[in-house]
Amino acid sequence: MTPLLQGQGLPPFPDITPAQVVPAITELLATANAALTQLEANIIPTWTGLVEPLDRIIEKISWSWGIVGHLMGVQNSPELRAAHEEMQPQTVEFWMRLGQSTALYQGYKAIQSSPEFANFEVAQKRIIVAAIRDMELSGVGLTGEPKQRFNEIQLALAELSNKFSNNVLDATKAYNLTLTKPDEIAGLPASLLGQAAQSARTAGHEAATPTDGPWVITLDAPSYVPFMQHSQRRDFREQVYKALVSRAASGEYDNLANIDRILELRREMSNILGFANFAELSLASKMAPNIAAVESLLESLRSASFEAAKQDLENLRAFAISKGAAEANDLKHWDLAYWSERLREAKFDFNAEELRPYFPLEQVLSGLFNLAHKLFGITITAADGKAPVWNPDVRYFQVANEQQQPIAYFYLDAYSRPAEKRGGAWMADCISRSKLTDKDGSTVRLPVAYLTCNQTPPVDGKPSLMTFGEVETLFHEFGHGLQHMLTTVDFVGASGISNVEWDAVELPSQFMENWCYDRPTLLSLGKHYETGEPLPEHYYQKILAARTFMSGSGMLRQIHFSWLDLELHGRYQPGGAETIADVRNRLAKISMVIPPLPEDNFLCSFGHIFAGGYAAGYYSYKWAEVLSADAFAAFEDAGLDDADAIGTTGRRFRDTVLSLGGSQHPMEVFTAFRGREPDPAALLRHNGLVAAK
């Protein structure tokens, strides 16, 4: 049997090839469509008569197509792209058919009004209500020409999103800066030189070494970020910065036209459903009640951070002047990371590179797993070899409860592979928790998560030595994984992150980041990879002091992205008098302290909103950060040095936020944990900001 037709369990990755995708998905879709036709003709409006058989149909497609999507992100190839592109329209058509099935919709409505509904568990009720809402937002009420046009738009958007993502990957891969002379690498840390020499060898310079070069700098984050922070060659920083912000904005990988078309189609689709714009449609299924509530939060955070961001820039200027820098009075975008790092070094007497030797991946994982045990009572152990993997570097882990019974598993794909793996970091579900009923009775299927990062890989015989930012990213994705893995909901439609409103889904991930600044936690993460020396206390104190360094600038950057996203999907009229660049420049006046360059087309690589799930939802990071900061404040209130209180509070967090998944509204889940609704004060305090008066 073709591996992609297995339909359940752990994917047999080594046996899956791009050539199998088209025949397998074609066969699956034919079977699923036939089963759906049968179900529609014999609707029994009960949980066992409708919801369970529909789940079985959906799960088979989700399992197989989910593997294809996963491999598109971590093992991309021209052959896989072609197969994905060929099957995507038919797959989208299946989901459209599902979302627009009048028979299923009427069945759900009949369940909702039946006597059985009153006796449902809370999760079951919410699944039914969400299904009705989602079908209405999928166009179930449309007929005739509007329905046909709506479906055409859905197909076109799926294709455009895929094209957008591929263009970003290809444009990132297409650029590199080859350095060959000692003066060209001035200021670059040894870790980057090792990585750049390895990139050079991959590019065909077989004799490249960290000491003699050549060195290849790429736009991949583990290369780009330290280069911008440390390169003393301002001309090269300018070149690399401009390459990044103009990625996928010209030539064969140009996304400019794709953006216009995506925005135009999203607005048209929203209008067909009766919404004024896509932002309104997006918020119809989110925690935030309306656009005004989002804008109110963004403005409160903007007003608390704008003056701080201006002061950050003045501090950089003053520092650069004190160092006699020629560019001091005219700092450009490509100077900010460099001078921020120099000021951080001077102010806190350390730099990010100094910390790398103290954060080998294995030690960081050990500290992270110990923290998870302390907070949530779980035990995480290596299970390498018990699951097939797509790359030899991928790890596999088991999660067990207090009774040492397995409750979940996860893959960890930690390292950057720019030739085949898209940038960024993410968590995705491989298998969701659910209760299965068969002839032998009910059994619970355990959840399995994919955790994907893009951190610095092992180089020249050294282990993966992480920056503190990479440590935070790992904690972030692990937080998402915890919500997927520690769920106790047995209905697949609400277990883990399923049915969790998009603007609440970042709560556990951002919550976990806070622990990187907790003294016992950080000291448990940091041990020198060669000597075993623990992270010195002075480094902890410096990291803590540096936490709010330039936090106004960091906050304002996220506000700018959020506002731009909301404006483009809200008030902006594609093809109108105001261009996308006009919108960006208008918003930049109140949300950036240095205006963007004329050639800055960062939107052309803004995959979150044009190829991901964050369209008219990028604000979700800040919305959820209010929740996560306030949730962490509960641990601060309990006393971070009180092990018993931390354990008690951690179990309460596990039994609410991590356990309940999408079975209840996130406000109910949050108040069940915190005892009240969220307060943004903790977020401003953690960022060293005070609300504007």
d(CA 381, CA 92): 38
* Tokens describing residue 242: 């401009």
d(CA 509, CA 629): 11
How far apart, in Å, are the Cα atoms of 556 and each of 229, 279, 304, 315, 587? 20, 21, 9, 16, 11
d(CA 359, CA 361): 6
Within a 13 Å sphere around the CA of 236, how many CA atoms are in the beta-carbon half?
A: 25
Amino acid symbol at 606: F
* Tokens describing residue 458: 């092992």
d(CA 71, CA 20): 13
The number of angstroms, rounded, from the C-alpha of 385 to the middle of its chain's C-alpha atoms is 27
Of the chain, the end-to-end C-alpha distance in Å amounts to 67
d(CA 403, CA 381): 14
From 184, 477, 501, 567, the catalytic residue: 477
Question: Is 380 in a helix, a strand, or coil?
Answer: strand
Contact yes or no for 378/542 (Cβ under 8 A): no
* Tokens describing residue 254: 């140009």
Contact yes or no for 224/456 (Cβ under 8 A): no
327 is a catalytic site residue: no
Contact yes or no for 486/654 (Cβ under 8 A): yes
Q: Which residues contact 38 (CB under 8 A, 6 or more apart)?
A: none
Q: Mark 59-83 as b/e (b = at least 16 C-beta within 10 Å).
A: bbbbbbbbbbebbbbbbbeeebbeb
Q: Is the peptide bond before 214 cis (omega within 30 degrees of 0)?
A: yes
Per residue, what are the HEC states of 474-511? HHHHHHHHHHHHCCCCCCCCCCCCCCCCCCCCCHHHHH
Question: Partners of 581 in the beta sheet?
Answer: none
* Tokens describing residue 218: 């790429």
Q: Which residues are catalytic?
A: 477
